[in-house]
Amino acid sequence: MDKIYTIIIYIYFLCLLFLVNACTQNNNIETSTISTEYSQKLFKKEKICFPLDDRADTKAVTILPYYGKNNKNYLTFLSKSENAILFYYLHKNELAFKVKYKLEGPNGVGSIYGYTIVDFDSIFVLGTRGYKGYLTDTSAVVKETFVLEKSDAETHSVDLSAATREPITVKDDKLIFKGIPGGEAFASDRYKYSIFYYWDLLNNEFKSLDFPLPENLYKDKHWVWTFQEGNYTVNDKGQFVVSHEVAPYLRVTDFNETQTYESKSDYIDDIPPLSKPDIESGLRQWKTENYYRDVAYDKYRNVYYRFALHRQELIDEKTGDENPWDSRSWSIIIMDSAFNKIGEKYMPPKQYFFRDWFITEEGLFISNNNDNNPNLDEDCLSFTLFELKDV
Amino acid sequence: MKSVATIVFFIVIFCNCNRQTEEDKKFTLLTEALNKPLRHDYKSFLIIPAEGCSACIEWSKDFALSHLNNKEVAFIFSSPTEKRIKLLIGEENIRQENIYLDLNAKASAYGLIKNYSPVIIYAEKISKKTIQLKPENIQEELFKLEQYLQDN
């Protein structure tokens, strides 16, 4: 009788072990093998390198192609270590010139956060801890200064930001910036405030545009502060296409009307909010949880790319080390001009850096300068070209 | 009775001697990953990531540059690339005696740097005291470190 009892217990434990194992495996979706049929695919082509001297870092933050007069085309990027915008000839990959900004003095702009180029005589720079803007030119002379602080009735503070994923945009005599409402990181009313602000170039006023975070995703929910923003691109109709970090959709707006289009990654099942709003849980959410990032309009092919960052474990099983935020796998969702999903490209971990990219007639260039890439070259701003083709 | 007290005394001493906290263990691991052996007689350490909270990094970097060759404090700069540290503090400062490099960014990997901000570690008698810096406390904590260096 005892023997039978022992065997039953043994079988019971085996079943339990099997169930636990099955549950664990289910959590780790084998992401690289997802294969949904789509009409378009990004094909990896050649690598290119913009050589960096010993004063420039591999992380660019803002990258903008600029198409100048007489077919002189440039790739420009922000070298924070030099407080300069570097202009490289786009097809020769050679440095053309640098526009170096002073930190202080009559032509001082503070540390540059971001910039946009209208032409060589009109370069708008966001500097001085993000609350002053400057109209400058390629000789780094400050022609005008804008104090970007709220001047209307609203009382909350705003931190303006500018990067490749949130480009300063000139539209209808307005200089439009992304702004993050200041205050407590987990303040319950943060979602009520707009994430877009503008400098009125005609009336010299700083105001907000009516575009708060979607209430259904943010009201009564806790997210790390970096999930309470939005990344955007501007399409050929002048509409802002916004990718909120936790939204399975894109919002398309002209700031009068806003439409929503589904935009989900095959690799993201869900994005759970925080159970408790504290710094440690927030940082863990940012480092490990699924979320959406940059959205980019490709005017040459009339498509959109949306970057989806995949969930990763906090601790690397092999090394026992904490995984850096940018060591995870990610994917590029491809959507046509009507926001129908037409493809999704899986990007392996530790190889590409999703923050730095640009688009030209040739295709989408993604940075190879991921700090976790064992082949990282510190003297080269390196990109891989991805070409969009029919499957 | 005396012998029981003696045994208890030694047990307490023994336990205290082995009371290495998780943070101590992480710090020991970090010292093994540095570009050169860390001298054991520093009273305090400032671990500075080359990327992260930019205001915190600027303050900490300035503090480090104004305390080069100080024998009481060591500065550990953490980054996956040496170039980024050179760009931050200047190539000429990288080989100063109290500047150490964590070139595999192990301070973050081991969880000593928790929020991409610098960390102060005081080498106290039994275990180490760690203070995470953030924009709200950085000036005050660097001031306290300055005082600590002068008082000890």
Mean pLDDT of A129-139: 88
Contact of A371 with chain B, judged by CB distance below 8 Å, is answered with yes
What pLDDT score does B29 carry? 92
Interface of B with A (CB under 8 A): 51, 54, 80-84, 86-88, 91, 105-106, 108-111, 114-115
Contact of A387 with chain B, judged by CB distance below 8 Å, is answered with no
- What single-letter DSSP state applies at residue A322? B
Query: Which residues is B139 bridged to in the sheet?
Result: none
- Asked if residue A370 lies in contact with residue A349, where contact means CB atoms within 8 angstroms, the answer is no
Residue B103: CB atoms within 10 Å: 16
Mean pLDDT score of chain A, rounded to an integer?
A: 89
The whole-angstrom distance between residue A28's C-alpha and the CA centroid of its chain comes to 25
At A363, the pLDDT band (50, 70, 90 cuts) reads: very high
Q: Is the pLDDT of residue A16 over 60?
A: no
Place of tokens 């470190």: B145
> B80 and A319: CB-CB below 8 Å?
no
Q: Give the predicted TM-score (pTM) of the model.
A: 0.85
- For residue B51, the chain A residue with the least C-alpha distance is A59
Distance CA A64, CA A74 (A): 8
In sequence order, which ranges of chain B are alpha helices (DSSP H)?
2-17, 22-32, 54-65, 82-89, 106-109, 138-151
Tokens of A95: 């440095």
* B63-114: pLDDT as tens digits: 999 999 899 999 999 998 899 999 999 999 999 999 999 998 999 999 899 8
Q: Own/partner pairs for B6-14, CB < 8 Å, 24+ apart?
A: none
Phi, psi of A131 (to 5 degrees): -115, 5
Q: Is the pLDDT of residue B15 over 60?
A: no
The whole-angstrom distance between residue A228's C-alpha and the CA centroid of its chain comes to 13
Q: Is the pLDDT of residue B40 over 90?
A: no
* A172-220: pLDDT as tens digits: 999 999 998 777 778 888 888 999 999 999 999 999 999 999 999 999 9
Cβ contacts from A onto B, under 8 A: 40
> B87 and A57: CB-CB below 8 Å?
yes
Contact of A189 with chain B, judged by CB distance below 8 Å, is answered with no
Contacts of residue B111 in chain A, CB cutoff 8 Å? Answer: 322
Contact of A279 with chain B, judged by CB distance below 8 Å, is answered with yes
What pLDDT score does B2 carry? 61
Distance CA B111, CA B33 (A): 14
Mean pLDDT score of chain B, rounded to an integer?
A: 86
Mean pLDDT of B28-32: 93
Look up residue A292 and give its amino acid.
Y
* A207-263: pLDDT as tens digits: 999 999 999 999 999 999 899 999 999 999 999 999 999 999 999 999 999 999 999
| Partner-chain residue, chosen from B82, B91, B115, that has the shortest CB–CB distance to A279 | B115
- For residue A80, the chain B residue with the least C-alpha distance is B87
Closest CA to A77 of A44, A107, A48, A112: A112
Distance CA A284, CA A269 (A): 18
What pLDDT score does A63 carry? 94
Please state, in angstroms and as integers, the Cα–Cα distance from residue B137 to each residue in A223, A277, B54, B132, following that order.
23, 20, 14, 9
What pLDDT score does B22 carry? 82
Q: Is the pLDDT of residue B20 over 70?
A: no
Distance CA A333, CA A306 (A): 5
- What single-letter DSSP state applies at residue A317? T
- Asked if residue A361 lies in contact with residue A283, where contact means CB atoms within 8 angstroms, the answer is no
What pLDDT score does A343 carry? 97
**∠ CA A235-A237-A242, rounded to 5°:** 40
* A318-361: pLDDT as tens digits: 888 999 999 999 999 999 999 999 999 999 999 999 999 999 99
- Asked if residue A125 lies in contact with residue A110, where contact means CB atoms within 8 angstroms, the answer is no
Q: Is the pLDDT of residue A19 over 50?
A: no
Closest CA to A209 of A233, A166, A179: A179
Give me the sign of the Cα torsion angle A242, A244, A250, A255.
Answer: negative
> B108 and A322: CB-CB below 8 Å?
yes
Contact of A372 with chain B, judged by CB distance below 8 Å, is answered with yes
Dihedral, CA of residue A120, residue A121, residue A125 and residue A128, to nearest 10: 130
Q: Is the pLDDT of residue A168 over 80?
A: yes
Mean pLDDT of A36-50: 94
The whole-angstrom distance between residue A285's C-alpha and the CA centroid of its chain comes to 17
What pLDDT score does B51 carry? 87
Reduced to 3 states (helix: H, G, I; strand: E, B; else coil), residue B88 is helix
